[in-house]
């Protein structure tokens, strides 16, 4: 009852999933950085946003047949991320890890995580205010 009425009604799911995605991505990027000098290592990436087909469309296609793919917006919760080799043709002399790309990915991922935690904490703050009946 509390789970449904309080947390699910507050649309916290998107942000929670985002945090999971960023945490996974951090692990993958750290892997790449740790293996920058490992012979035979292939750079990997965590793909998630790519699977949200039509991510820029606000339209939602009606599905009259279960064989239809979800057209337009795909639900975030239905979308699993996965780890794949990047297939980059970068050559650092040992493998295809591009340390500068990994470091910038690390930075952007860190910023995404910060933004998501900030938004999530603001939402919890609003919930807390609503429960207490005064601004906290």
Interface residues toward other proteins, by CB under 8 A? 11, 14-15, 17-18, 21, 48-57, 59, 61, 65, 67-72, 76, 86-90, 93, 98-101, 103-105, 107-108, 111-112, 114-116, 118-119, 122, 125-126, 129-130, 133-135
CA distance 13 to 64: 27
Task: Find the shortest distance in angstroms from Cβ 55 to other proteins.
Answer: 5
Task: Find the shortest distance in angstroms from Cβ 3 to other proteins.
Answer: 19
According to DSSP, the residues that pair with 47 across neighbouring strands are 82
Task: Find the shortest distance in angstroms from Cβ 90 to other proteins.
Answer: 7
């Amino acid at each position: 009852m509390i789970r449904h009425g309080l947390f699910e009604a507050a649309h916290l799911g998107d942000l929670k999933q985002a945090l999971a995605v960023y945490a996974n991505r951090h692990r993958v990027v750290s892997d790449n950085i740790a293996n920058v000098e490992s012979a035979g290592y292939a750079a990997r990436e965590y793909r998630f946003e790519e699977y949200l087909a039509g991510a820029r469309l606000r339209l939602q296609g009606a599905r009259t047949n279960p064989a239809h793919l979800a057209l337009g917006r795909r639900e975030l919760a239905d979308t699993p991320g996965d780890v794949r080799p990047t297939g980059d043709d970068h050559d650092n002399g040992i493998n295809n890890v591009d340390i500068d790309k990994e470091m910038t990915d690390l930075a952007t991922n860190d910023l995404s995580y910060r933004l998501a935690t900030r938004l999530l904490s603001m939402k919890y703050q609003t919930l807390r205010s609503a429960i207490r009946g005064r601004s906290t």
